[in-house]
């Protein structure tokens, strides 16, 4: 099999599915490459596409392959609904860099690219979307995004700077950095690294969160968002207040937004995993959340 070194794509079957995955490396704004796993329905297209992000970055192609083989019940529902789908993997999250180092600026020096800083993970996601729009079987005007946890925060960061995505789902979005939230004593500094550990931060109540965000900064960032966003909460999550305030700010700014909260005991419930027997057994809450998400994206990616 011949492989174009500048457009690497390796096809693998997906367990229990008629839709194989195209494992690809996509060039980022700075010339490095990020892996994705792209799948599409049968036929020539062009298809609407939804790209999927889960949590923090890192892990490379091994994570793409694992997610594709073991966490893709949700993607199968989108494929059945006529969407192409792609798992994204991106740079690891850089602690509070978004809030410290400003917008990415591109220039030229000696006829070569010059950047004012290294790109961040959400900017890599934008690079992937821009590439996917060039593919002949993808409808460039009908691109959606589904991000969970840090991937949900990435939805807000992307939408505040880039309006090339038609609609988004932000599931349990950990937007504390985007909102410039001042942590309380439930967040600790890791003495070994000097970095903030928010793993046990308690922000369940919207009123508590609202009193700790930097309101003018959060509102300024929200103000540039044009993309409709469906925000998922999780009733028993320790960051439920953050999820709700993220939606509230969208609604108060007159943005096209929807809120729904689900009673589930697993963080990341939107992405159904195989069980110990290798089976997908989504529960009623997961089935509803995915159906709600497809219905929301259908409004923008299939209407007209």
Q: Does the model's pTM come out above 0.85?
A: yes
Domain count, the chain: 1
pLDDT at 304: 61
Q: Which of 270, 273, 268 is nearest to 71 (CA)?
A: 273
% of residues, the chain, pLDDT over 70 = 99
> Contact, 268 vs 286, CB < 8 A?
no
194 Cβ partners below 8 Å, 6+ apart? none
Q: Show the tokens assigned to 74.
A: 């949700």
| Measured CA angle at 10 (ends 5, 16), to 5 deg | 170
Asked if residue 4 belongs to a domain, the reply is no
Residue 1 predicted with pLDDT over 60: no
Task: Calculate mean pLDDT across residues 232-253.
Answer: 97
How do residues 18-28 score in pLDDT, each as one tens digit? 999 999 999 99
Q: What is the pLDDT of residue 8?
A: 85
- Say if 102 falls within a structural domain: yes
In a domain, residue 67? The reply is yes
| Domain harbouring 42, CATH code | 3.40.50.1820
280 domain-assigned? yes
Mean pLDDT (whole number) for 173-199? 86
Predicted confidence (pLDDT) per residue in 124-157, tens digit: 999 999 999 999 999 999 999 999 999 999 999 9
Listed in sequence order, the DSSP H helices in 205-239 are 206-212, 215-223
Is the pLDDT reported for residue 166 higher than 90? yes
Rounded mean pLDDT, 196-221:
90
Give domain status of residue 52, yes or no.
yes
Q: Say if CB 107 and CB 129 are below 8 A apart.
A: no
Rounded to an integer, what distance in angstroms lies between the CA atom of residue 226 and that of residue 162? 9
Report the distance separating Cα 173 and Cα 206, nearest Å.
14
**Regarding predicted confidence, which is higher, 121 or 191?**
121
Q: Is residue 3 part of a domain?
A: no
Range of the domain at 261: 9-301
Across the chain, mean pLDDT equals 94
Residue 233 lies in a domain: yes
The answer to the question of residue 2 being in a domain is no
């Amino acid at each position: 099999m011949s492989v174009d070194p500048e457009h690497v794509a390796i096809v693998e079957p997906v367990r229990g599915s008629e839709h194989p995955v195209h494992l690809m490396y996509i060039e980022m704004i700075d010339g490095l490459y990020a892996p994705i796993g792209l799948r599409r329905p049968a036929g020539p297209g062009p298809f609407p596409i939804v790209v999927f992000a889960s949590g923090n970055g890192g892990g490379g192609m091994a994570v793409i392959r694992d997610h594709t083989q073991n966490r893709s019940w949700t993607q199968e529902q989108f494929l059945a609904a006529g969407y192409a789908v792609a798992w994204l993997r991106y740079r690891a999250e850089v602690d509070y860099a978004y809030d410290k180092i400003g917008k990415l600026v591109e220039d030229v020096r000696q006829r070569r690219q010059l950047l004012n800083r290294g790109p961040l993970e959400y900017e890599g996601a934008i690079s992937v979307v821009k590439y996917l729009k060039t593919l002949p079987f993808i409808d460039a005007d009908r691109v959606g995004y589904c991000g969970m946890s840090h991937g949900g925060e990435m939805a807000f960061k992307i939408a505040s700077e880039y309006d090339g995505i038609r609609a988004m789902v932000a599931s349990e979005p950990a937007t504390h950095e985007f909102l410039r939230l001042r942590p309380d004593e439930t967040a600790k500094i890791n003495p070994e690294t000097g970095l903030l550990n928010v793993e046990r931060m308690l922000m369940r109540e919207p009123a508590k969160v609202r009193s700790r965000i930097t309101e003018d900064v959060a509102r300024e960032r929200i103000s540039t968002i044009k993309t409709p966003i469906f925000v998922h909460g999780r009733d028993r999550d320790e960051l439920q207040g953050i999820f709700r305030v993220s939606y509230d700010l969208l609604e108060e700014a007159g943005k096209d937004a929807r809120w729904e909260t689900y009673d589930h005991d697993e963080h990341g419930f939107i992405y159904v995993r195989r069980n110990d027997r290798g089976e997908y057994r989504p529960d009623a809450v997961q089935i509803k959340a995915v159906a709600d998400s497809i219905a929301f994206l259908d409004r923008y990616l299939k209407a007209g």
